[in-house]
Amino acid sequence: MSIKLSSIIDKLNQIAPKELAEAWDNVGLLVGDKEANINKVLVALDATDLVIEEAISKDVDLIITHHPVIFKGIKQINTQSVVGNKVIKLITNNISLFSAHTNLDSAKEGISTILADRLQLKDYNVLAPSNCTSECNCGIGRIGYIDKILLNDLCKFVKSSFGLNNIRVVGDLNKIITKVAVSPGSSMEYADIAYKQGADVFITGDIKYHDAQDYKEKGMALIDAGHFGTEHIIVQELIEKLQKWFGNNIEIINAKSDVDPFIIV
């Protein structure tokens, strides 16, 4: 059996409405025909060249990613550019591509909420609410409370909760933590909001050196769990939702080639 791509898109838009996406973002059906019949779906964080090659080798009809492969306007589509080469491969092999990015970060049941739940935060709220009704509980990041814990022990908990081998930390490892803010990907632009709301620690990815120095002096600890590390968990969540929605009507594959580009040596 197969499912119309439009039916899959409708379900994804329900959990991550396009209007929640940031103005600079590019989400939705990026490549393909919404009336196409879908038999196999590959889910990944990024549509890297290796992920696309995996999709081709497995006769996949649709790739669902978190990060869009097309961010900015394209003036040329050819094999000389990274993005152009990917688009050509997708079209040539009749593979559609759908992405849910900052809309999925902000969604009520999106990545920010998943991170807060994995950290077992209590009484948490949206860190940076979206421009929607106050009842929607949508926006980037979450801030709430955790049972009293040393920063050093929280680091261990973050690694186990997010399935990571390594993280970076800024602050006194003996600092007592009770209020935690967390936000996926590159979210340091929201660090000041977390600081002003009294967070003891802000957990995100891609923390820069000077930001680390500034917040160390301000007294708010930082945990850099990585861009991949704070977002890869959405892949399995999406797979479980697709299985719930469509059962055995489509085959859903977790991309094996979807890995963190950084290697710790």
Longest dimension (CA), the chain: 59
Q: Which residues contact 217 (CB under 8 A, 6 or more apart)?
A: none
Question: Do the domain assignments include residue 263?
Answer: no
Question: Do the domain assignments include residue 265?
Answer: no
β-pair type (40-44, 28-31): unpaired
What is the percentage of the chain residues whose pLDDT exceeds 90? 92
- Does 240 lie in the same domain as 212? no
- Does 91 lie in the same domain as 26? yes
Per DSSP (E only), the strands in the chain are: 3-4, 28-31, 37-38, 40-44, 62-65, 96-99, 122-129, 139-150, 168-170, 176-186, 201-205, 221-224, 251-254
- Does 118 lie in the same domain as 99? no
Tens digits of residue pLDDT in 14-48: 999 999 999 999 999 999 999 999 999 999 999 99
Question: Do the domain assignments include residue 239?
Answer: yes
Q: What is the CATH number of the domain that holds 144?
A: 3.40.1390.30
Report the length, in residues, of the chain: 265
Question: Do the domain assignments include residue 259?
Answer: no
- Does 217 lie in the same domain as 115? yes
- Does 98 lie in the same domain as 32? yes
- Which residues are registered as beta bridge partners of 129? 139
CA 100 vs. chain centroid, Å, equals: 9
What is the percentage of the chain residues whose pLDDT exceeds 70? 98
Question: Do the domain assignments include residue 18?
Answer: yes
Collect contacts of 193-201 with beta carbons under 8 A, ≥24 apart.
193/127, 193/128, 193/141, 194/127, 194/141, 194/143, 194/220, 195/220, 197/127, 197/143, 199/143, 200/151, 200/175, 200/176, 201/151, 201/154, 201/171, 201/175, 201/177
Tens digits of residue pLDDT in 140-178: 999 999 999 999 999 999 999 999 999 999 999 999 999
Q: Which domain holds residue 201?
A: 108-224
- Do residues 169 and 204 lie in contact, with contact meaning Cβ atoms separated by under 8 Å? no
- Does 87 lie in the same domain as 121? no
Mean pLDDT (whole number) for 213-229: 98
- Does 68 lie in the same domain as 40? yes
Mean pLDDT (whole number) for 67-90: 91
- Does 199 lie in the same domain as 162? yes
- Does 135 lie in the same domain as 120? yes
- Does 147 lie in the same domain as 49? no
pTM exceeding the 0.85 threshold for the entire prediction: yes
- Does 170 lie in the same domain as 192? yes
In the chain, the amino acid numbered 149 is I
- Does 115 lie in the same domain as 12? no
List the end-to-end C-alpha distance of the chain, in Å, as a whole number: 46
Indicate the number of domains in the chain.
Answer: 2
Mean pLDDT of the chain: 95
User: Would the pLDDT of 134 be above 60?
Assistant: no
Give 81's Cβ-side CA count (13 Å radius). Answer: 11
